[in-house]
Amino acid sequence: MDILKNLNKKQKLRIIAVLAVFVLLIIIAIVILISRAGKIATTVQYAPYKATVIVNGKKVKNKSKQYFEPGEYDIEVSAEHFETYTEHVTISKDYTYMVGILKAADDEGEKYKMEHKIEFAEAEGLVGRALNAEGVIRKKNHPILNYLPINNALYSISYDYDVDNVTPIIAVKAQPVYLDDAVAKLKTLKNVDLTAYEIVFKTENPFALYDESATGKTPKECVKNAFNIPAEYTMTTGQDIMDNYYTLQLFIDDYDLAYQYSHYRVLLHKDDNDMWKIVAAPQPLLTQKNTPNTPKDILNTANSL
């Protein structure tokens, strides 16, 4: 205060103005921080940069850093002489991109691309980063992808995606004699819940069709009533799982080679009348997809036997 007394009116006004600006900047910073709280800094960049970007119905500045709450977003990008681009993205701390490249719709669009190669190259680089981030997320959500594909002389295990391009479908290709080897390999994959995936075995399933209404007083009686079991297949003794489930296997036993192979797991459930019934078509490995409405611990137990 003593310092202010020694200043003239003009100097005081200057100090007050500086302080006011400083306070205003602090207020603005606080407002910005509050408005961005819980939101994620997201790169919005679509080539051509003149394109209009609409996110969930609202216009967003192209080639900018925007802040969005984590969640689902529908994006539409349009520009004259280019095809309209649409996509659906999920913004999270692991995925912070709204990026892409529009396709030229006519000669004018192609000409623009030639004249603005740098912006398209920049956008292409960002698309590459976004794809890498997406791959990391998918492997985090679906740990089995960290191990695939697997290819050797006996079998191959690969994956593709469903129509929504979200959930992986695991494809196992093997001759019947090597089918068990492929299943054994799947079981070695660490931190992977095999029951959570749709696993498609390309080997022809001899037990895909059966009498779904068949029942039996014992599990084996039910199996015999349900299937026309090929002569080369043998039925194991089986085992109880809790009180109302039972599992056994059908397999080929080559006595000449002293070798068993092509095991198919059969899961049965006891109904209220104490009659056994097959839950679903036997599979080399039971999952929530091919053996639905079955507790996961039951599936894991059956797969471990």
* Local confidence band at 114 (pLDDT 50, 70, 90 cut-offs): very high
* Local confidence band at 107 (pLDDT 50, 70, 90 cut-offs): very high
CA–centroid distance for 106 within its chain:
36
Please say if the pLDDT value at position 3 is more than 60: no
Instruction: State both tokens at 212.
Output: 């779904």
List, in order, residues 6 or more apart from 240 with CB less than 8 Å away.
Answer: 246
Q: What is the CATH number of domain 40-141?
A: 2.60.40
Range(s) of the chain covered by CATH 2.60.40: 40-141
Q: Determine the Cα–Cα distance for residues 304 and 245; give it in Å rounded to an integer.
A: 15
Instruction: State both tokens at 32.
Output: 């910005």
- For 160-213, write each residue's pLDDT tens digit: 987 777 789 999 999 999 999 999 999 999 999 999 999 999 999 999 999 999
List, in order, residues 6 or more apart from 32 with CB less than 8 Å away.
Answer: none
Instruction: State both tokens at 197.
Output: 């995936």
284 preceded by a cis bond (ω within 30 of 0) = no
Q: What is the mean pLDDT of residues 23-31?
A: 67
The pTM of the full predicted model, rounded to 2 decimals, is 0.74
At residue 7, the pLDDT reads: 63
Please say if the pLDDT value at position 41 is more than 70: yes
